[in-house]
Structure 1
Amino acid sequence: MDGHMGLANSVALKLAGVTNLSKDPNGGTIMRTSDGEPIGLLIDAAMELILARIPEVSVDERREAMLRASSFALTRGVTAVVDFGRYFPGAPVEHSWQDFSDVYQWADSSGMMIIRVCLFFPMETWSRLYDVIRKAGHALSNWIYFGGVKAFADGSLGSNSALFHEPYFDDPHNSGLQVVESESLFNMTMASDKSGLQVAIHAIGDRANDLILDMYESVASTNGKRDRRFRIEHAQHLAPGTADGFGQQGIIASVQPDHLLVDADAAIRKLGVDRAQKGSYLFQSLLLSNALLALGSDWPVTSIYPLQAIRTAMKRIPSGWENAWIPSECLSLNDAVIAHTISAAQACFLENEIGSLSTGKLADFVILSTDSWDEFATEGSASVEATYVGGMQAYP
Structure 2
Amino acid sequence: MKLLSLLSAILVLLLSVVSLHFLHSNYWSNLRWSLSLQSSPVADLVVRNALIYTSDASLPFADSMAVSNGRILRVGNYSSVVQQDLPGYGTKELNLEGKIVVPGFIDSHVHFINGGLQMAQVELRGINNRDEFVRRVQEAVKNKKQGSWVLGGGWNNDLWGGELPVASWIDDITPYNPVWLSRTDGHMGLANSMALKLAGITKYTEDPIGGTIMKTTSGEPNGLLIDSAMKLLLPWIPEVSVDERREALVRASNLALMRGVTTVVDFGRYVPGTSVQLSWDDFSDVYHWTDTSGKMMIRVCLFFPMETWSHLLDLISKTGRVVSQWIYLGGVKGFADGSLGSNSALFYEPYVDDPHNYGLLVTELESLFNMTMASDKSGLQVAIHAIGDKANDLILDVYESVGSTNGMRDRRFRIEHAQHLVPGSTARFGEQGIVASVQPDHLLDDADSAIKKLGVERAQKESYLFRSLLASNAQLAFGSDWPVADINPLGSIKAAMKRIPPGWESAWISSECLTLHDALNAYTISAARASFLDNDLGSLSPGKMADFVVLSTDSWDDFAAEGSASVEATFVGGLQAYP
Q: SS of the residue aligned with 1:80?
A: strand
**TM superposition shift of 1:237:** 0.5
Looking at structure 2, the residues matched to 13 and 79 of structure 1 have their Cα atoms a distance apart, in angstroms, of 40
1:210-246 per-position Cα deviation (integer Å, ceiling 9, x unaligned): 0000000001011111111000000001111111111
Looking at structure 1, the residues matched to 192 and 280 of structure 2 have their Cα atoms a distance apart, in angstroms, of 30
Looking at structure 2, the residues matched to 357 and 39 of structure 1 have their Cα atoms a distance apart, in angstroms, of 53
**TM superposition shift of 1:378:** 2.4
**TM superposition shift of 1:39:** 1.0
Looking at structure 2, the residues matched to 223 and 175 of structure 1 have their Cα atoms a distance apart, in angstroms, of 32
Looking at structure 1, the residues matched to 411 and 481 of structure 2 have their Cα atoms a distance apart, in angstroms, of 23
The TM-score normalised by the length of structure 2 is: 0.68
Of 254, 261, 264, the match for 1:78 = 261
How do residues 160-179 of structure 1 correspond to structure 2 at under 5 angstroms?
160-179=343-362
User: Which residue does 1:109 correspond to in 2?
Assistant: 292
Of 483, 487, 501, the match for 1:300 = 483
Residue 270 (1) aligns with residue 453 (2): yes
**TM superposition shift of 1:26:** 1.2
Q: Are the aligned partners of 2:494 and 2:562 in contact in 1 as well (CA < 8 Å)? A: no
Identity percentage of aligned residues:
75
Of 413, 417, 434, the match for 1:230 = 413
Structure 1 runs not aligned, ≥5 long: none
Of 243, 250, 256, the match for 2:426 = 243
**TM superposition shift of 1:29:** 0.9
User: Which residue does 2:371 correspond to in 1?
Assistant: 188
User: Which residue does 1:18 correspond to in 2?
Assistant: 201
User: Which residue does 2:302 correspond to in 1?
Assistant: 119
**TM superposition shift of 1:349:** 0.1
Of 377, 381, 385, the match for 2:564 = 381
Looking at structure 1, the residues matched to 343 and 562 of structure 2 have their Cα atoms a distance apart, in angstroms, of 36
User: Which residue does 2:331 correspond to in 1?
Assistant: 148
Looking at structure 2, the residues matched to 383 and 394 of structure 1 have their Cα atoms a distance apart, in angstroms, of 16
Looking at structure 2, the residues matched to 226 and 36 of structure 1 have their Cα atoms a distance apart, in angstroms, of 52
Higher relative contact order (CA 8 A, sep 6+): 2
User: Which residue does 1:93 correspond to in 2?
Assistant: 276
**TM superposition shift of 1:178:** 0.5
Looking at structure 2, the residues matched to 156 and 118 of structure 1 have their Cα atoms a distance apart, in angstroms, of 24
User: Which residue does 2:342 correspond to in 1?
Assistant: 159
The TM-score normalised by the length of structure 1 is: 0.99
User: Which residue does 1:354 correspond to in 2?
Assistant: 537
Residue 5 (1) aligns with residue 164 (2): no
Q: CA RMSD in A?
A: 0.8
Q: SS of the residue aligned with 1:52?
A: helix
AA matched with 1:95: L
Q: Are the aligned partners of 2:493 and 2:563 in contact in 1 as well (CA < 8 Å)? A: no
**TM superposition shift of 1:332:** 1.0
Matched residue pairs, number?
A: 396
AA matched with 1:267: A
Stretch deviating more after TM superposition (244-253 or 2-11): 2-11
User: Which residue does 2:88 correspond to in 1?
Assistant: none
AA matched with 2:314: D
**TM superposition shift of 1:381:** 2.2
Structure 2 runs not aligned, ≥5 long: 1-182
Looking at structure 2, the residues matched to 10 and 395 of structure 1 have their Cα atoms a distance apart, in angstroms, of 44
Of 392, 398, 401, the match for 1:209 = 392
